[in-house]
Amino acid sequence: MAKGKTRSRELESTWRQTLTRHRQSGLTVREFCRVEEIKESAFHYWKRELKRRAGDCQSSARRRKTSRQSSPALVPVTITSGSPAPIEIALPGGTTLRVSSDCEQSLLRMVVSALATS
């Protein structure tokens, strides 16, 4: 692998961590850059660049998805403690499927399989 590619990935990782620290800090960009001794112009450049790179990844993923028949997109799942709650499956088009948490696994497999083929 070329030296430039490795360095770019390292820089990208470093700036992702820096932007995360900024979001968690509660400081303005100016205050954060002053504390971290970062040039504001560099901060804004990397914020735009990482957003662009993320957009490029999403665009290529969309192209791959439309170029072949694929299963429904997965969505993030949040597990909360407490009383058993129904499982919610968000389907394309805004439909939400709610399944009881004590549902038989075989039944859920059949439903998911049927949805994947439709």
15-49 pLDDT, tens digit per residue, is: 999 999 999 999 999 999 999 999 999 999 999 98
With beta carbons less than 8 A apart as the criterion, state whether 92 and 72 touch. Answer: yes
Look up residue 9 and give its amino acid: R
Which of 63-67, 71-75, 78-82, 111-115 tops mean pLDDT?
111-115
pTM greater than 0.95 (yes/no): no
If DSSP codes are grouped into helix, strand and coil, which group holds residue 113?
helix
Q: pLDDT digits over 62-77, tens only?
A: 655 555 555 667 777 7
Is pLDDT of 89 > 70? yes
Question: Using CA atoms, how far apart are residues 46 and 38, in angstroms rounded to an integer?
Answer: 11
